[in-house]
Chain A
Amino acid sequence: MKTKMDFPNINERKAEGLKPDGTPYKVLVVDDSMFVTKQISQILSSEGFDIVGTANDGQEGLEKYKELYPNVDLVTMDITMPKMDGVTSLEKIIEFDKNARVIMISALGKQDLVKKSLLLGAKNYIVKPLDRNKVLERVLLSLK
């Protein structure tokens, strides 16, 4: 006969944003929209991820990555941004750190740019509007 102790307590479900050792994954959010940055940050931090930095364009994203390196586990990168777009920034980040994990965020789906990003080394992509489940699923896949 199974006792109560054999069933996992729902309240103690492991937060998705924690590494096996219990520390949070560190995320850098690069997006020129205040709204999208807020959305991604909220979704991820609610699952225990630690948002270690945000950037408004590709150039700033690259600089922040270099600054925070090696303490960034994942970068969420918007494709369309002023000054330096997401694909160029991705390219330069990978150049700097070939193990960088970058996931592309885009409002355009199946576009040449998304394909190009994947070829350049992006781990995955998410098409807007952002759905909480989709974001978490893709982020976790990228972290494997």
Chain B
Amino acid sequence: MRVEYINPFVESAFNVLREVLNSDIERGELYLKSTSQPVLGVAAIVGLAGDVEGRVLFDMSKPTAIAIASAMNGEELKSLDDLAKATITELANMITAQAVTKLHELGFKFDLTPPAIFTGDNMEITDSKVEALIVPVILPQGKVEINVAVRERA
């Protein structure tokens, strides 16, 4: 992944999560994975277009997703219902959008496509042999892996 793209994603994840969860965020060490397959149970995906093609995937377990959605809504959600899903989707959207904004400022023309959320039952396995950058984030609600797989448009 292009070096200049990395910081915007790391920073925006940090900023948005800290703001919406109002708590301390710990960042794990970045690393590269040979596949972009989501692994934790719930995946919110935002597509990227423009100078690049690819997507940002927010990978987390179901309990973590419910806990995050609960915190963001200021109420205890009992399951990954429509509201919880909409909340996680919106979180993915905000983080990606802020990163894209930063990238615009750096001169990179990225576009977002509307986010989607998948759970264990209907996980898509498209093009999983793409290399992904993993930004692990540790929240009070659990771990979230931000999985970015992009490549320059030929």
Contact = CB atoms under 8 A, between A and B. Distances in A.
* A and B held together in a complex: yes
B20 interface: yes
A80 B90 CA distance: 12
Contact of B20 (A80, A82, A129): A129
Contacts of A118: none
Interface in B81-99: 82-83, 86-87, 89-90, 93-94, 96-98
A107 B114 contact: no
B112 A111 contact: no
Contact of B94 (A82, A111, A128): A128
Contact of B97 (A38, A82, A107): A107
Contacts of B73: 35, 38
User: What is the size category of the interface that chain B forms with chain A?
Assistant: 20 to 34
B72 interface: yes
Contacts of A80: 93, 112, 114
Interface string A110-124: 110000000000000
Interface in A43-101: 80, 82
Contacts of B82: 34
Given A33-B90, A34-B83, A129-B94, A111 B16 contact: no
Given A35-B72, A38-B73, A129-B20, A107 B98 contact: yes
A33 B16 contact: no
Interface residues of A, number: 17
A111 B86 contact: no
B87 A35 contact: yes
A80 B112 CA distance: 9
Nearest to B96: A107
Contacts of B86: 33-36
Contact of A35 (B19, B83, B100, B112): B83
Contacts of A131: 19
Interface in A14-51: 32-36, 38
Task: Please indicate which of the listed interface residues A33, A35, A38, A131 has the most CB atoms of chain B within 10 Å of its own CB.
Answer: A35
A108 interface: yes
Interface of A: 32-36, 38, 80, 82, 106-111, 128-129, 131
Interface of B: 16, 19-20, 69, 72-73, 82-83, 86-87, 89-90, 93-94, 96-98, 100-101, 104, 112, 114
Given A33-B89, A33-B90, 8 more contacts: A33-B93, A35-B72, A36-B86, A38-B73, A80-B112, A108-B112, A128-B93, A131-B19
